[in-house]
Homo-oligomer: A and B are copies of this chain.
Amino acid sequence: MTAYNCMSRQALEEEYQKVLSQYDDCKRQNLNLNIARGKPSSAQLDLVMDMLTTITDIDDCIADGVDTRNYGELSGLQCAKDYWASILGCKSNEIFVGGGSSLTLMYDVISKAFTHGLRRSERPWCKEEKIRFLCPSPGYDRHFMVTESFGCELVMVPMTVEGPNMDMVEELIQDPAVKGIWCVPKYSNPDGIIYSDETISRLANMKPAAPDFVIMWDNAYCVHEFEGDFVPFKDIITLCRDAGRPEMVFEFASTSKITFPGSGISCMASSVDNIAYMTKLMGIQMISYNKLNQIRHVRYLKDKENTLALMKRHAAILAPKFEMVTSILDREIKPLEFATWVKPKGGYFISFNTMPGTAKRALALCKEAGLTMTSAGATFPYGIDPNDSNIRIAPSLPPLNELKTAMGVFCTCLKLAALEKLLA
């Protein structure tokens, strides 16, 4: 195979006819495939079915003397705080245990910042003229949408292989209107990179102009290696505590990709004072979270060691899918030299950069052929990728045979969109 940019116009036209015919074959199959979202597969959910019968008797429902069946313990059961503290590497009293969704806890923090202010806020953010929020991109569309929904100005910061471009971050935070930054520090969504120690240290040591600047540290993939052993990771809560600005960060995690998505337990971690402040505000909206689900999870997952053993079983299902995606890309796309990607070792995504100016078109072609993927641009603020190049691949949901078909369609569409552009 020859790289597209080395082909003559005639060769490109021949290739175009060949790929077009492959695309027509794809369409004729009336496919209905979805690799849009980081959803675990049925096989992964089957792994944890025993959790449903962990709690059956009255005695099972008593934890640390608390009857978990009744109201109470707004900030979470002690055993659930201990569990999350061991996973994240912070202290138990820096943990608030939530319901099934860490995204909801993130929203709670931003929402309360707007209506009530954070602990160091001079006034609620809704009383500020403008709020700017840093969005390392490509990033997670749901993060960006939370801050967009409240009318923040989203400021794009390019991602590097070590995390967000810190020179730019350190410059931007001199603006007191810049109130925070979204981060997925381990197996970042979608790039799959791990922030370097230097990046993390620079983040923890920031001196933002806004007294209530907040690092939204979504540690969604904290134990989600699918290749190799667990990678130890610096705890941001400890680092910010040590840097003398313990209140600058809220960290989030959940069991959505450990047990059952949306039916697991989540947590937020921050300074003891921040947790006390948030607990008071949360007490207005809620008496207590589902503690039966907390005790169910703690009894089932037990501790970090046992959780990591379970993650190995998830990895055994996930790894072949990532392997398949990258091997097909290596075979079909790499020699054509119009796209780049990196195979991650954890997380749920592959970040794929196709020929600039062709991502939207490629995904429109996918859709027409029955393959749903994350929308083009979704990984950028306001859904606008300035290069129209980044595509997030989420290989976890379909079984291997479907994934293979999906990748075939995907490669065909990428080629077709690239050829259309080259021939335009």
- On A, residues with C-beta under 8 Å from B are 37, 39-40, 42, 45-46, 49, 52-53, 55-58, 67-72, 99-101, 103-104, 107-108, 111, 114-116, 124, 126, 142, 145-146, 149-150, 256, 260-263, 281, 284-293
Supply 12 further A-B pairs (C-beta < 8 A) apart from A46-B58, A103-B286, A116-B149.
Answer: A49-B57, A49-B58, A52-B55, A53-B56, A69-B263, A100-B290, A101-B286, A124-B126, A126-B126, A146-B285, A261-B288, A262-B290
Q: Residue among A67, A116, A145, A292 with the most chain B CB within 10 A?
A: A292
A328 CB, nearest partner CB in chain B, Å: 25
Determine whether the beta carbon of B263 is less than 8 Å from that of A290.
yes
Q: In the docked arrangement, what's the CA distance between A291 and B292, Å? A: 15
Known contacts: A100-B289, A100-B290, A293-B290. The answer to whether A71 contacts B262 by CB under 8 A is: yes
Q: Residue among A49, A67, A72, A150 with the most chain B CB within 10 A?
A: A49
Taking CB atoms, residues of chain B closer than 8 Å to A287 are 101, 103, 142, 261-262
Taking CB atoms, residues of chain B closer than 8 Å to A70 are 39-40, 42, 45, 260-262
Taking CB atoms, residues of chain B closer than 8 Å to A104 are 285-286
Query: How many subunits of this chain does the assembly comprise?
Result: 2
Closest 6 CB pairs of A and B: A107-B285, A263-B292, A262-B288, A263-B290, A71-B261, A126-B126
A311 CB, nearest partner CB in chain B, Å: 18
Q: In the docked arrangement, what's the CA distance between A292 and B71, Å? A: 20
Q: Residue among A39, A99, A150, A262 with the most chain B CB within 10 A?
A: A262
A203 CB, nearest partner CB in chain B, Å: 25
Determine whether the beta carbon of A290 is less than 8 Å from that of B99.
yes
Determine whether the beta carbon of A71 is less than 8 Å from that of B39.
yes
Taking CB atoms, residues of chain B closer than 8 Å to A289 are 100-101, 262
Taking CB atoms, residues of chain B closer than 8 Å to A46 are 58
Taking CB atoms, residues of chain B closer than 8 Å to A293 are 263, 290, 293
